[in-house]
Structure 1
Amino acid sequence: MQQESLVEYGSRRVIITITAIFCALLEIVDTTIVNVALNEMKGNLGATLNEIAWVITAYAIGNVIIVPMTSWLAAQFGRRNYFAASIIIFTICSFLCGNASNIWELVLFRFLQGIGGGALLVTSQTIITESYPPEKRSMAQAIYGMGVIIGPTLGPPLGGFIVDNYSWPYIFYINIPIGIIATILTLQYVRSPKYAEKKSGRDVDWAGIGLLAVAVGSLQYVLERGQEEDWFANSTITMLAVVSVFSFFFFIWRELTTKNPIVELRVLGNGNLRVGTILSFILGFGLYGSTFIIPLYTQSILGWTAQQSGALMVPAAITTAFMMPLIGNMLQKGVKPQYLVAIGMLIFFLYSFWGYKVLTPDTGKDAFFWMLIFRGIGMGMLFIPITGLSLSTLKGQQIGQGAAFTGMMRQLGGSFGIALITTFMAHQNNVHRNDLLAHVQANDPAVQQRLHGMELSFIGKGLPPDVALQSAYKAMEGMIMKQVAVMSYMDVFLYIGIMFLICIPFVLMVKAKQNKPVDMSEAMH
């Protein structure tokens, strides 16, 4: 196989790069764009809160199931064909999601959309990287990284704008023209590497496919739904957690013993990739966790609209986009990726600690600006060096398999992050509520004075004295609960920051053999 057979030049490379970035963006934006439309969908489709949450869960399950298989599927069908088929599935399912007439139709089409979307992210990374010569591949990672980091940030403001000005089906319909153009450009310009001989139907690891789908599907369900279903007090969650553990055990055993595994686990024997998958998990935790927590805080505590909350994140996303080429350039000049990762984690700790200090029940918009710029710088310094570190000592087909592992771990890190954050906040709410109520005694003169002032205020608004007193108590309870929620958000920021700080010494201990560019020219998918 020719090493440079997939390198492109001039306008072909520009077109391939734009096509792949748009496909990656389509996939990532769709993970967050629906969040702001759930309320409207709920009313429109007559669904309960629990049912509508499945719109997010189903997409994530489809996504996580397909990502580890992308390497194998690309080898079976040819990368260009598989990539184009994924775009087509994603586009058709986007149309079907917009046309869904009931909640379970929407959930089914979201699951299928997730299956189509899973390939877009990992495969577009390899397509971009292989289109560039080895000396420019760090820059290729930077270009791809812009899409991955900016995508989750673009979702909420774009979704908020569409919901405010049009209606929820249009958050799916906007994918259709982009999907059609991307399909045509993929079939016209993207080339497939030569693969080893394809497997016949008899040689396909059907048992591995089944075990993987059950294992990650069950795990994703547990993570997405655990908090709402009260975790292991719920029999379904308990059963699926057990199923997931056993399925993973048998999946690992199967993949290590079968002749033609669906996922090549032996590639994890590479030390750099093992470290990289752990770091990708932590990156996903921080990226999706903070993208989840900030809009939640600004909307529920500060009363902002979805569009305002989303717009708050835009300067940080622009900062990350600005950082990516600089970091790619530093890596090309031989700067060790573990140093950049360590600095990125320190900056992310400072951002988290800043968040811990700045949150109040009425924080102003200006207080977030520089804090979020720090987040943008930190994310920019983490994504490309982690990818480079993970894949730096892999060769040929292993690179595609490694990219699939880091992609899946980033996704699972986000799911674990959101699940842990929601559980932790529910726990901290109880702790802080008990602490605050212990200090708010009904016979305390300061409390009595505050209640009396509020009661007089309500009487001044025309309420009778007994109703005014009840309203004063309710208002006091509301103030306490708001303060409790703010303290829980503060704790989340503090502990995420500490997690990143603890990782720094371990990152610095990694011995990376990364002074030359990562050669991805033989990647599998």
Structure 2
Amino acid sequence: MESGARKWIIVVTVVLCTVLELIDTSIVNVALTQMMGNLSATQQEVSWVIASYAIANVIVVPMTGFLSEQFGRRNYFGGSVVLFTLASIACGHSTNIWELVAFRFIQGVGGGALMATSQSILIDTFPPKELPLGQALFSMGVIVGPSLGPTLGGYIVDNYDWPWIFYVNVPVGILATIFTFIFIEDPAHIKARIPRPVSQIDWLGIFLLVLGVGSLQLVLEQGETEDWFESTYIISFALLSAIGIIGFIVRELTAKQPIVDLRVIGRSRNLAFGVILSFVVGFGLFASVFVFPIFTQRILGFTAMQTGMILLPSSLVTGAMMPFIGKAIQKGVSQKLMIPFGFAIFFIFTFWMSARISPTAGDMDFFWPLMLRGFGLAFIFLPITTLSLAGLSGKDAGQAAGLTSMIRQLGGSFGVAIVGTYLERSTAYNRVAQLPNISLYNTETTQRLQAFTQGFLAKGYALSQAQQQAYAALEGTLMKQVALITYSQTFTMLGIFFLICIPLVFFMKIKKNAPPVDMSAAH
């Protein structure tokens, strides 16, 4: 345990690294158009800039426990910061799209350790009685990071060039590296470790993890682009994913020294249901952050910067509340009450948003619903983490932390993929459903066409051109109305999904007078 200034230097270092890693999951989204132009890339090619980072991330996260034991946690964390920083420089210097994709993958390998290992460093920095505060500080970074990405990215793209979205990582990376090797020390159980000989490393488990989880992430990232199972490419990787994941589960349940000890799930009912709830949280958090910017930018014409600034206050509310939630858990407030309350708040948020969606909506129409979302998330994230890990200690806690992080990230990928597909398919369906209302035999339709035609004639168009433009304007009006219906339905479906998942919480147990969650080995 640490104290004084050293303690808070460590806190700042690891929380900054967590925020940095999560910012990089979304910061590139607003720069893709610039990248396409500067690197002569197609939309399909540039999508790999996002996919490669996510694939590397989700592969590395569950292995952080093994890698920390093998190399020492401080060495692994510091080395990952160095790798992340160097890869960021290389990304900014990329001269073609495939160079950028390769360096983003390397950046994702480094970034995967930052979030998972930061949590365990924070836990070892605080004494047991202050443990919820340590987890709360970590949770602040996890919640705030994804929302900061579009805001920071939008500012950089509007004022600088796209390489600067990577160069901004460099000063923080250098500072974090220095602080890591000066102030962070390995706990006793890590110092006493005996690294596994190369011959005893679970190479088959590593291979199956890379094959299964990597292929699944690729399917989720590229599925919509490739029209899902209409593509042989997607079918092939879906089969590889199934083979890899099934093989990985069998291998890890039977190996003497597994790379990821899945048996810990069988030893803790809380963890089993906590893993499911982590998936739900990842799904809702990333899906809502994904769908809102698309709506505001495509339908309302907001800039990336505007959208980011709308999202930011709600994330800050969540972050600011985390220490209070941590203190409440520390004083004995039941997580089994907090989590359903948070889910119910999220449900109200989605229905409020669906009612606020309109063609004339502005910033303030979304401010209070998003603030409510931020308030609700504070009652979800930290209580699920602490309840999932309750009763675990040593290596079990470390394995559990890695598993919940991976599942939360996969939940986010599923959320983005499913919501993206739902938006695409529902838009087409809703357009067909609205077409019977538009007919030349319909008085309202003909009046609207005449009004459009007169407007274009007044601008100097010839009659034939004015009529063509009028039909185009009518189509535009139709598609905007269809989009509003679709986005409203999407928010409603997200809310119902959260509501349905509330009963899962009551399968988890809270032991009276149980000691604080022991995360001393959660690396």
Q: TM-score, normalised by structure 2?
A: 0.98
2:23 aligned to which of 23, 29, 46: 29
Map Cα deviations across residues 379-400 of structure 1 (whole Å, 9 max, x no partner).
1111110100111121111111
Aligned match of 2:439? 441
Alignment of 1:81-100 (within 5 A): 81-100=75-94
1:336/1:515 contact within 8 Å kept: no
* Aligned mates of 1:300, 1:411 — CA distance in 2: 26
Aligned match of 1:211? 208
Alignment of 1:12-411 (within 5 A): 12-193=6-187, 194-195=189-190, 196-269=193-266, 270-411=268-409
Helix, strand or coil: the match of 2:260? coil
Map Cα deviations across residues 8-62 of structure 1 (whole Å, 9 max, x no partner).
1111110110000011011000001111111111100000000001000000000
Letter in 2 for 1:254: R
Letter in 1 for 2:357: L
2:273/2:507 contact within 8 Å kept: no
How far the C-alpha of 1:152 sits from its partner, in A, is: 0.5
1:520 aligned to which of 501, 518, 521: 518
* Aligned mates of 2:430, 2:140 — CA distance in 1: 39
4+ aligned runs moved over 4 Å, structure 1: 514-517
Letter in 2 for 1:296: I
How far the C-alpha of 1:198 sits from its partner, in A, is: 1.5
Aligned match of 2:424? 426
How far the C-alpha of 1:115 sits from its partner, in A, is: 0.5
Letter in 2 for 1:179: G
> CA 1:228/1:332 → structure 2, altered by over 3 Å: closer, same or farther?
same
Helix, strand or coil: the match of 2:257? coil
How far the C-alpha of 1:336 sits from its partner, in A, is: 1.2
1:334/1:516 contact within 8 Å kept: no
Letter in 1 for 2:333: V
Helix, strand or coil: the match of 1:124? helix
2:271/2:400 contact within 8 Å kept: yes
How far the C-alpha of 1:159 sits from its partner, in A, is: 0.5
* Aligned mates of 2:74, 2:87 — CA distance in 1: 20
> CA 1:267/1:514 → structure 2, altered by over 3 Å: closer, same or farther?
farther
Helix, strand or coil: the match of 1:443? coil
How far the C-alpha of 1:361 sits from its partner, in A, is: 2.0
Helix, strand or coil: the match of 1:128? helix
* Aligned mates of 1:132, 1:514 — CA distance in 2: 23
* Aligned mates of 2:510, 2:312 — CA distance in 1: 33
Helix, strand or coil: the match of 1:72? helix
How far the C-alpha of 1:326 sits from its partner, in A, is: 1.3
* Aligned mates of 1:428, 1:414 — CA distance in 2: 21
How far the C-alpha of 1:511 sits from its partner, in A, is: 2.0
2:137/2:323 contact within 8 Å kept: yes
How far the C-alpha of 1:348 sits from its partner, in A, is: 0.3
How far the C-alpha of 1:289 sits from its partner, in A, is: 0.8
Query: How many residues in Structure 1 have an aligned counterpart in Structure 2?
Result: 519
- RMSD of aligned C-alpha atoms? 1.1
Can you give the 5+ residue segments of structure 1 that lack an aligned partner in the other structure? Answer: 1-6
Helix, strand or coil: the match of 1:431? helix
1:78/1:192 contact within 8 Å kept: yes
Can you give the 5+ residue segments of structure 2 that lack an aligned partner in the other structure? Answer: none
1:393/1:514 contact within 8 Å kept: no
1:392/1:514 contact within 8 Å kept: no
> CA 1:346/1:177 → structure 2, altered by over 3 Å: closer, same or farther?
same
* Aligned mates of 1:218, 1:30 — CA distance in 2: 21
Helix, strand or coil: the match of 1:313? helix
Helix, strand or coil: the match of 2:497? helix
1:157/1:310 contact within 8 Å kept: yes
Map Cα deviations across residues 475-500 of structure 1 (whole Å, 9 max, x no partner).
00011111111111111100000011
1:74/1:524 contact within 8 Å kept: no
* Aligned mates of 1:225, 1:431 — CA distance in 2: 22
Helix, strand or coil: the match of 1:101? coil
Helix, strand or coil: the match of 2:460? coil
Map Cα deviations across residues 42-83 of structure 1 (whole Å, 9 max, x no partner).
100000000001000000000001001000000000000000
How far the C-alpha of 1:438 sits from its partner, in A, is: 1.5
Question: Percent sequence identity over matched residues?
Answer: 49
Letter in 2 for 1:35: N
Letter in 2 for 1:112: I
Helix, strand or coil: the match of 2:379? helix
How far the C-alpha of 1:87 sits from its partner, in A, is: 0.4
Helix, strand or coil: the match of 1:53? helix
